[in-house]
């Protein structure tokens, strides 16, 4: 069943693969990321996909997605302990 799904941290390593898989099963995907550790290149191939939207925002200020959604995936957080240690407010509390 397809739906509208939000992927927080969707431009990260894991999140970008999740975006790929959700789009492959015909979900509409709203990727929210502040690119603190994620890479634009991870989702660049999705830029022209009709079902993909990228919102650049810091999730700690709230989730800037309007309208109904069928699911929210949390893939944001520190990839490595050193990242969280060096930038705790940018990465907490998603991991
Ligand atoms: N990569 C792994 O092998 C692995 C294994 C086990 C668990 N995890 C956990 O899975 C999560 C994701 O891992 P990853 O390797 O994809 O890391 P990643 O750093 O590649 O992805 C995290 C994403 O979250 C985004 N982000 C962080 N803080 C944000 C904020 N405040 N607002 C918006 N976006 C924000 C980053 O920009 C990045 O795109 C982490 O919590 C990590 O600890 C990862």
Cα-to-centroid distance, 77 and ligand 1 (Å): 4
Choosing from 6, 7, 10, 13 the residue with most ligand 1 atoms within 8 A of its CB, the one to mutate for a pocket test is 13
Higher per-residue pLDDT: 95 or 16:
16
Residue 81: pLDDT over 80: no
- pLDDT tens-digit series, residues 16-55: 999 999 999 999 999 999 999 999 999 999 999 999 999 9
Please tell me if the CB atom of residue 10 comes closer than 6 angstroms to any atom of ligand 1: no
Does residue 7 sit in helix, strand or coil?
strand
Which pLDDT score is estimated for 94? 45
Q: From the CB of residue 88, how many other CB atoms can be counted at a distance below 10 Å?
A: 11
Which pLDDT score is estimated for 95? 39
Instruction: Tell me what percent of the residues of the chain surpass a pLDDT of 70.
Output: 80
**All structural domains of the chain:** 4-91 (3.40.50.720)
- Asked if 44 and 68 touch (Cβ cutoff 8 Å), the reply is no
Indicate the burial class of 79 (C-beta count within 10 angstroms; 0-12, 13-18, 19 or more).
middle
């Amino acid at each position: 069943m397809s739906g509208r799904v939000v992927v927080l941290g969707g431009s990260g390593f894991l999140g970008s693969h999740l975006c790929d898989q959700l789009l492959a099963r015909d979900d509409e995907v709203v990727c929210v990321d502040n690119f603190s550790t994620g890479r634009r290149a991870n989702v660049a191939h999705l830029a022209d996909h009709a079902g993909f939207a990228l919102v650049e925002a810091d999730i700690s200020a709230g989730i800037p997605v309007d309208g109904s959604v069928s699911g929210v995936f949390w893939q944001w957080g520190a990839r490595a302990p050193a990242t969280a240690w060096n930038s705790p407010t940018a990465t907490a509390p998603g991991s």
